[in-house]
Amino acid sequence: MKILEEEKNIIKLMPENLDDLWDLYNIIEVGDKVYALSERRVQDKGDVIRADRGAKIKMFLGVEVENTEFDENTKRLRILGKIIKGPDLVPLGSHHTIEIKPFDEITIEKDWKKWQIDRIREALESSKKPKILAVIMDDEEADIFEVKDYKIKEICSIKSHSSKRLDYKANEELKKEYYHEIAKVLKEYSADNILVAGPGFAKNNFYKFLDNYPEIKKKVIVESVSLTSKAGLNEAIKRGIINRIYADSRVAKETQLVERLLEEIAKDGLAAYGLEDVKKAINYAAIDTLLVSDSIIRNKEIEEIINKVEEIGGNVVIVSSEHDAGKQLKALGGIAALLRFSID
């Protein structure tokens, strides 16, 4: 994310990737004013605008937001609202959808909340840091993931096809093919850091094999985990391995906070979850960190709770519901808190 201009309640931004679009989706609310270059169909004759006729013309438009949609497949953020600013040929008050993709400029005018500003600052810092590819592997299979700010994306799974029924020489040839396939996938991505992890010796043997791919090998960090597949990646996240590689990885940060929450809940410790318990903790000014699922962030009551937590000096973390830890938080009611002291 880049901040292009900033004054009072207006911030002009340039999202640079899908993560940034996800952040904007969570920040932009009903009633906000959004301005961007957009396309709209205009009739050749007269000043009447119709959705099904006329040529598409690029123009600078402003809308008052009524709805937002995030589409991962097309890499678009769609912002629907009533037009409040545009050229004379566009009637004010008519509806329009502005589509934002990476590297489009967008200006947002709103009453900014502290957590929203914090999220933009985090995205700004995130843009300066590399994303991570993770290879979780053993002798039989390698699962490759991209650790993104808002979720973990599985890229592919590669099997070695080795077998105890084959002789040593045949298995060695299959192993080389296996390693070559993994390396070819890694070459397609531009991540500056690659985690190679798993149980046993396969990860170390693959690292040695990467002498054949020096441009990949220099990016690799090898770690041991006891599990394979996504469970092995989750283990790496919980142990802080991802954080050591990519210090501010949002998935890792959110996962560790939810894990800490679950630990506190299990021992009946410094945790509150569910709307009523969180409200009670606010009354005691006991909240250190509030965890809120992005699935409920647009609820007015939740917004009021966030404001109160910020007023008492608490931290607010918006947790994506797209990864496993986020789903666990959602199952707890979508809102929880780590406490400064016990309130029982």
Q: Are residues 30 and 106 in the same domain?
A: yes
Q: Are residues 312 and 269 in the same domain?
A: yes
Q: Is the pTM of this model over 0.95?
A: no
Assign residue 313 the CATH number of its domain.
Answer: 3.30.1330.30
Q: Let me know if residue 98 belongs to a domain.
A: yes
pLDDT at site 248: 58
Domain end (from 194, 222, 245): 245
Q: Are residues 222 and 261 in the same domain?
A: no
pLDDT at site 129: 65
**Tens of pLDDT, residues 85-119:** 999 989 999 999 999 999 999 999 999 998 999 98
- Say if strands 335-339 and 315-319 run parallel, antiparallel, or are unpaired: unpaired
Q: Let me know if residue 258 belongs to a domain.
A: yes
Which 8-state DSSP code applies to residue 212?
Answer: G
The residues near 29 (Cβ < 8 Å, ≥ 6 apart) are: 65, 110, 298
Please report, for residues 200, 231, 238, 249, the alpha-carbon distance to residue 225 in angstroms, rounded to integers and kept in the order given.
9, 9, 11, 19
Assign residue 35 the CATH number of its domain.
Answer: 2.30.30.870
**Tens of pLDDT, residues 43-53:** 655 545 544 56
User: How far is it, in rounded angstroms, from Cα 207 to Cα 276?
Assistant: 51
Q: Are residues 259 and 328 in the same domain?
A: yes
Q: Are residues 268 and 223 in the same domain?
A: no
pLDDT at site 51: 47
Q: Let me know if residue 344 belongs to a domain.
A: no
pLDDT at site 106: 98
Q: Are residues 11 and 53 in the same domain?
A: yes
**Tens of pLDDT, residues 132-178:** 899 999 999 999 999 876 678 899 999 998 888 889 899 999 999 99
Q: Are residues 18 and 82 in the same domain?
A: yes
Q: Are residues 174 and 231 in the same domain?
A: yes
- Within 10 A of 278 (CB to CB), how many other CB atoms are there? 23
Domain tally, the chain: 3
Q: Region 307-321: what's the mean pLDDT?
A: 93
User: How far is it, in rounded angstroms, from Cα 259 to Cα 145?
Assistant: 21
Please report, for residues 151, 163, 286, the alpha-carbon distance to residue 29 in angstroms, rounded to integers and kept in the order given.
22, 56, 29
User: How far is it, in rounded angstroms, from Cα 190 to Cα 195?
Assistant: 14
Assign residue 227 the CATH number of its domain.
Answer: 3.30.420.60
What is the residue range of 102's domain?
A: 2-110
Please give the residue that has the higher pLDDT: either 163 or 210: 210
CB-based burial label for 23 (10 Å; 0-12, 13-18, 19+):
buried
pLDDT at site 204: 97
Q: Let me know if residue 126 belongs to a domain.
A: no
Q: Are residues 156 and 234 in the same domain?
A: yes
- Half-sphere CA count of 221, side-chain side, radius 13 A: 17
Q: Let me know if residue 122 belongs to a domain.
A: no
Q: Are residues 65 and 106 in the same domain?
A: yes
Q: Are residues 144 and 63 in the same domain?
A: no
Q: Are residues 260 and 306 in the same domain?
A: yes
Q: Can you list the positions of beta strands (E) in the chain? A: 2-7, 10-14, 33-42, 55-71, 76-85, 95-100, 106-109, 132-137, 141-147, 152-159, 193-198, 220-224, 271-273, 287-293, 315-319, 335-339
pLDDT at site 212: 97
pLDDT at site 56: 84
| Nearest-10 crossing angle of helices 18-27, 114-126 | 180
